[in-house]
Amino acid sequence: CIGWAYCDADGNLREHGQIPLEMGLPPNQQNAQITNTCLQIQQLANKYACPVVIENLDFSKKKEVLREKGQKYSRMLSSWAYNLFSEKLEAILNNRGIELIIVNPAYSSLIALVKYVRMYGLASDEAAALVIARRGMKLSERLPRSLTAYPLVKKGKHVWSAWNQLNKLIKSWDAIQCRHDYYSIRVSNWESLVKPQCEYKD
């Protein structure tokens, strides 16, 4: 499925949902499904009178981003012809006078998990959609206050430097071996992960 989120002018979540998808369809059925999905997104944009924001996923250049999101996610998008989806969505939105904003996908899944899954009780794809929507509004995604007390990044660095350091810490944690572990472990407080790692490094 594709998660979507609508936020207000301040970047606060107002509505969210999912558009179901079926994988492994024959090409003609897949194309029809892509068109139908794009039309549903267009209808949501009309309903909320807002632009549409999506990630710029280049499968030839964004290997690191796709690894961050997980192998299953990467295979799903590849098989579902993401490039065809983005092209068709752009055509449909342009035809109806709706703005399409394409943003950098860096750390969107990680930010979603750390900041918004628990805050709003969202599915991971809905939380990532919120991150993408906020990024389209050029809103910053700083680390939660519970994590800023730890030396994840030097002062003066771009905020993504902190997310990069957190991502490295998570990958070094023995309890997390794959994307699914983010949910099965159910870390109630990310401080419980970061604090031991930082203390060990010190």
Domain boundaries, the chain: 2-136, 145-201
pLDDT digits (tens, 9 = 90+) for 45-64: 999 999 999 998 765 554 55
- Pair of tokens at residue 127: 């939380």
* CATH code of the domain made up of 2-136: 3.30.420.140
Write the CA distances from 148 to 11, 132, 138, 153, 154, integer angstroms.
21, 22, 21, 9, 11
- The β-bridge relationship of strands 2-7 and 13-19 is antiparallel
Residue 8 and residue 133 in contact, taking contact as beta carbons nearer than 8 Å: no
Query: What pLDDT is stored for residue 199 in this prediction?
Result: 45
Q: Report percent pLDDT > 70 for the chain.
A: 66
pLDDT digits (tens, 9 = 90+) for 132-172: 999 999 999 988 766 654 555 555 566 777 888 777 777 77
